[in-house]
Amino acid sequence: MSGDWALSRFGSKAVLCVMAAEPEYGPALKSRVRPLITGVGPVEAAAAVGHALAVLAAEDALPDLVVSLGSAGSRALDHARVYRVSHVSYRDMDASCLGFPKGETPFLPGSAVLPLADGPASLPAARLASGASVVSGAAYDLVEADMVDMETFAVVRAAARFGVPVLGLRGVSDGRTDLSALSHWTDALAEIDLRLAEALDLLHDHFSPAATEPA
């Protein structure tokens, strides 16, 4: 593929790696993958992933899997640890005054909580809530998930249009204290870069057929 991103190979799988922002893409990840950098937030993520997959579909080169990588906020989970996303919800969606359950997109049944692809058993699983706001402090009280980000739900919905499953990997960068400066997020990204790179190595092993020696 030409351009700033390229498909990666993890064992038997062709994979499109997706990240939101350049500050999350550190030296460890750069030595392993060339992700699609979508931009921050659900709108940018959906637009970028939809376009990339459309280009790949036109070339008959859709990946087997999309891997959504990046940081996340959490008050409850271990910081600087990577979690595999088991389920994702859209915390901004609220049409409850019209009779729809909170989190469910109107006229799209079953959309409130979406399952993601499985991954290495050694990576702990956690529930994620995506939305177009940065969550800090008391705002976590309104979130029914273990951690938060701004893109994964949109990535999953865009990839679903092409029948491509999504695996989510998020390193917890913030949430223990209130955010009041950009550095409260960026200070953790060097460590998150290392941990995400280690998770990708596990993913490579997960999708690699076990070698068997002849008897």
The pLDDT of residue 125 is above 90: yes
Rounded mean pLDDT, 132-146: 86
Regarding predicted confidence, which is higher, 42 or 181?
42
Question: Quick one: 15 exposed, middle or buried, by C-beta within 10 A (0-12, 13-18, 19+)?
Answer: buried
Contact between 150 and 130 (Cβ < 8 Å): yes
CA distance 125 to 104: 23
**How do residues 56-83 score in pLDDT, each as one tens digit?**
999 999 999 999 999 999 999 999 899 9
Residues 6+ apart with CB under 8 A from 169: 67, 68, 69, 70, 82, 83, 84, 85, 119, 123, 196, 199, 200, 203
CA distance 83 to 70: 10
Question: Quick one: 93 exposed, middle or buried, by C-beta within 10 A (0-12, 13-18, 19+)?
Answer: buried
The whole-chain average pLDDT of the chain stands at: 91
Helices (H), 93-160: 152-160
CA distance 215 to 7: 36
Confidence of residue 139 (pLDDT cuts 50, 70, 90): confident
**How do residues 162-179 score in pLDDT, each as one tens digit?**
999 999 999 998 877 787
* Closest C-alpha among 156, 150, 38 to residue 92: 150
The pLDDT of residue 212 is above 70: no
Confidence of residue 44 (pLDDT cuts 50, 70, 90): very high
Token reading at 72: 């996340």
Helix, strand, coil percent content, the chain, rounded in steps of 5 = 30, 25, 45
pLDDT attached to residue 180: 76
The pLDDT of residue 206 is above 90: yes
pTM of the model: 0.90
pLDDT attached to residue 113: 93
- Where are the domains positioned within the chain? 8-206
* Closest C-alpha among 124, 171, 127, 176 to residue 29: 171
CA distance 26 to 33: 11
Residues 6+ apart with CB under 8 A from 1: 7, 56, 61
Rounded mean pLDDT, 115-119: 95
The pLDDT of residue 213 is above 70: no
Out of 3.40.630.30, 3.30.60.50, 3.40.50.880, 3.40.50.1580, which CATH number does the structure's domain 8-206 have? 3.40.50.1580
The pLDDT of residue 89 is above 60: yes
The pLDDT of residue 13 is above 90: yes
Regarding predicted confidence, which is higher, 185 or 172?
172
